[in-house]
Chain A
Amino acid sequence: EAEVAQSPRYKITEKSQAVAFWCDPISGHATLYWYRQILGQGPELLVQFQDESVVDDSQLPKDRFSAERLKGVDSTLKIQPAELGDSAMYLCASSLAGSTGELFFGEGSRLTVL
């Protein structure tokens, strides 16, 4: 069964360091999402791609976060510099083209900032 792949599963870093997360969506899925899930809360959208184009990054803290999906397939989310408040689970999801609400999630990348 096709899955959304994310790496690393766990990342511990010190504040002010740079960190990057990678996501490989299900083959053929044109839409890719990055969500952030703080412990005990629901996921919050950071950025949404349609193919290689950003369609929504209104909640992405652009002073420190960046995301790209250069060839419209896999994607990288970067944080530089990391802050204590960035400790969270970073979730990647993909879906077929269009906003159907039927998302397929990866297992997530858990970030701890010390």
Chain B
Amino acid sequence: GNSVTQMEGPVTLSEEAFLTINCTYTATGYPSLFWYVQYPGEGLQLLLKATKADDKGSNKGFEATYRKETTSFHLEKGSVQVSDSAVYFCAPLAVGRRALTFGSGTRLQVQP
């Protein structure tokens, strides 16, 4: 079946540190891949996406590359800010599926 595994949080970093949040998935075929972010007190919002192998999605300094060989879509940012503190969700949209499957989420806490 389709599933997604994210690294457990919380991830606690100091401002300007490098961030990696791991995400791997299992799915039939080649899904489209998404990262959503949930800031405190707000609804989920799309952060970035990639729709085919080797695509790189990017937004707000975050990047993720669609790696079909390792079925991964790790989220990275070179220098995190306090304002990046949020919960991040990896979500594949499998071929033939109508809706996203969300990972369990990874909480990021950035300290000044």
Please list the residues of chain A having a beta carbon within 8 angstroms of any beta carbon in chain B: 4, 33, 35, 40-45, 48, 55-56, 91, 93, 99-108
Contact = CB atoms under 8 A, between A and B. Distances in A.
22 contacts: A35-B102, A40-B104, A41-B104, A42-B102, A42-B103, A43-B102, A45-B99, A45-B100, A48-B99, A55-B98, A56-B98, A56-B99, A93-B44, A99-B93, A100-B32, A100-B93, A101-B49, A101-B100, A102-B49, A105-B45, A107-B41, A108-B43
A4 B89 CA distance: 19
A4 B99 CA distance: 18
B66 interface: no
B34 interface: yes
Contact of B99 (A33, A40, A41, A108): A33
A42 B98 contact: no
Given A45-B99, A99-B93, A99-B97, A4 B43 contact: yes
Contacts of B89: 42-43
Nearest to A44: B102
B105 A101 contact: no
Interface string B69-99: 0000000000000000000010101000111
B97 to A, nearest CB: 7
A44 B46 CA distance: 16
Chain A at the B interface: SS class: loop
B44 A105 contact: yes
B34 A101 contact: yes
Given A42-B103, A91-B43, A100-B32, 16 more contacts: A41-B104, A43-B89, A45-B101, A48-B98, A55-B98, A99-B93, A99-B97, A101-B34, A101-B91, A101-B100, A102-B49, A103-B36, A103-B100, A104-B45, A105-B45, A107-B43
Contacts of A101: 32, 34, 49, 91, 93, 100
